[in-house]
Structure 1
Amino acid sequence: MTMFAAPVLHSEWIKIRSLRGSLGSLVAVFAVTVTVTVLVRAAAGHTATDKGDDPLFGAFYALTFGQVAALAFGATAFSCEFRDGALCVSLAAVPGRTRFYVAKTAVVGVGALATGLVTTFVTFLAGQAFIGSDALGLGEPGALRACVGGGVYLALMALLAAGLTAVLRSAVAVLSILVPFLLIVSFVVGDVAGTAADLMPDRAGQQVLHQHPSGALGPWSGLAVTAAWTAAALLAGWWAVRRRDA
């Protein structure tokens, strides 16, 4: 099983590296988040991104932009299979649809997690370098948890998009749904529904970035809610890949 799985994983990684859209989106997760953080901090110091009494959450202000890139990575990594009969070729090489799907989502998840962790740690440290005596360190309560949890959150966003793309077979359709849903609808629902909005995938997962999370969910339970949304999307994607014609 392991001997057979390794070539499948390797082939999926080659696909991602070969596609400019997928690889570019993965690089953008890091580049956009860090660049926005550095530019904003350099221009305005701590006043630009501090969120009330939670400077830790303010340190990850630019993660919103990285989140969009993570969604684009997950969507484009999977949508390539639905162009010009590419899925038929993939399934001819890997006849087991479940094995193919697991390998593809595993590569997307690992790639997004590795990039996400590097992104959150560099973003935090680079941003704090401009604050001087008010800077937070990794030893600050919640800081290490936020850096690790932020990386996991970005990986979950990429997998959420990948699962939905397997269902809808279009990166454009998925991004047209997810980006407004996470950036606009979530805030509207938050204003209308109150604590119910805490269960939205973005709001729940971002609890891990707060030094003192508010609401019904804690940092890890919030991330677990986001993981549940992602698991549902991945399960729907697995069902679609198994049941539909290539």
Structure 2
Amino acid sequence: MSNSASVTAVLRSEWIKVKSLRGSVGSLAAVFVATVAVTVLVFATVGRAEADNADAEPLFGAFYALNFGQVAAISFGTTAVSSEYVNGALRVSLAAVPRRGLFYGAKTAVLGAAALLVGLLTSFTTFLGGQAFLGEHAIGLGHPGAVRACVGGGFYLALMALLAAGLAAVLRSGVAVLSVLIPFTLIVPFVIGDMAGGVAQFLPDRAGQQILHEDPSGMLGPWAGLGVMAVWAGAALAAGWWAVRRRDA
């Protein structure tokens, strides 16, 4: 079998794993469903009142529900990797694909691609769906920064999934990853935000969400912020790769 064919076969097998795990499929679907559902609920009830607020930021506000979708993205990345550490599944996977680099690379590539595809669909649907309830206050894709924010929102969700995947390979426990990462992304930035002299803006969620602002404040611009988040995800994936290489199955 040629090297390219073996890579294709491993990618296909990892995609089959993702599709066959209820937890992974459910979490991936929840990225879209939860984000769009919260968007519809919020914008249909208080959307116009908030849009009429002089302090409102219409572009960033359009992606409010991504705060819920990112939890599902974290769950997806966690489940897709931590399932390998249940009932000796990793030993079976490595018996089929002895090259650990190929195994780990294919797994993260597949879950990253799946999260990006669903993330982009979620981001654009969230933006357009929410604006449908705002009447004269609505903004469209022609609004400054709107397309950038929609595309960036998709990458933001995918990077959250990859960050969780890397940590799952290190910790080997879905419960441990969720216990660490969800509070870290949802609570820690707000706790230290006023005490750490701007350090909070370099945390993954704060940095990544710069892409959603029309005119970001602070030291990081929209793409620089997303780049900082990509560094976090890359570091987690690198640590996961080290763990997969060095530890016994």
Please give the alpha-carbon distance, in whole angstroms, between the structure 1 residues aligned to 2:184 and 2:238.
20
Contact 1:112 1:155 in 2 (8 A): yes
Deviations 1:34-68 (A, max 9, x none): 00000111111233477934210000000000000
Please give the alpha-carbon distance, in whole angstroms, between the structure 1 residues aligned to 2:138 and 2:244.
48
Q: Which one of 15, 28, 31 corresponds to residue 29 of structure 1? A: 31
Please give the alpha-carbon distance, in whole angstroms, between the structure 2 residues aligned to 1:140 and 1:43.
23
User: Which ranges in structure 1 are unaligned for 5 or more consecutive residues?
Assistant: none
Deviations 1:73-123 (A, max 9, x none): 000000110011100000011010000000000001000000000000000
1:123 aligns with 2:115: no
| Partner residue in 2 for 1:142 | 145
| Partner residue in 2 for 1:236 | 239
Please give the alpha-carbon distance, in whole angstroms, between the structure 1 residues aligned to 2:164 and 2:75.
7
Identity of matched residues, % = 67
1:204 aligns with 2:213: no
Q: How does 1:52-131 map to 2 (within 5 A)?
A: 52-131=55-134
| Aligned residue type for 2:116 | L
RMSD: 1.2
Pairwise CA distance, 1:192: 1.0
Deviations 1:3-35 (A, max 9, x none): 111110111111111111010000000000000
| Partner residue in 2 for 1:38 | 40
Q: Which one of 16, 19, 22 corresponds to residue 17 of structure 1? A: 19
Please give the secondary structure, in 2, of the residue aligned with 1:139. coil
Pairwise CA distance, 1:136: 0.7
4+ aligned runs moved over 6 Å, structure 1: none
Please give the alpha-carbon distance, in whole angstroms, between the structure 2 residues aligned to 1:229 and 1:21.
24
Q: How does 1:148-163 map to 2 (within 5 A)?
A: 148-163=151-166
Contact 1:164 1:233 in 2 (8 A): yes
Q: Which one of 152, 175, 179 corresponds to residue 178 of structure 2? A: 175
User: TM-score with structure 2 length normalisation?
Assistant: 0.97
1:47 aligns with 2:63: no
Please give the secondary structure, in 2, of the residue aligned with 1:204. helix
Please give the alpha-carbon distance, in whole angstroms, between the structure 1 residues aligned to 2:200 and 2:27.
28
Pairwise CA distance, 1:193: 1.1
1:220 aligns with 2:219: no
Please give the alpha-carbon distance, in whole angstroms, between the structure 2 residues aligned to 1:234 and 1:68.
18
Please give the alpha-carbon distance, in whole angstroms, between the structure 1 residues aligned to 2:103 and 2:96.
9
Deviations 1:117-158 (A, max 9, x none): 000000000000000011010010000000000000100000
Please give the alpha-carbon distance, in whole angstroms, between the structure 2 residues aligned to 1:228 and 1:142.
23
Deviations 1:188-233 (A, max 9, x none): 1112113111101100000000001000000000000000000000
Q: Which one of 181, 187, 190 corresponds to residue 187 of structure 1? A: 190
User: Which ranges in structure 2 are unaligned for 5 or more consecutive residues?
Assistant: none
Please give the alpha-carbon distance, in whole angstroms, between the structure 2 residues aligned to 1:160 and 1:46.
35
Which is worse superposed, 98-107 or 181-190? 181-190
Please give the secondary structure, in 1, of the residue aligned with 2:197. helix
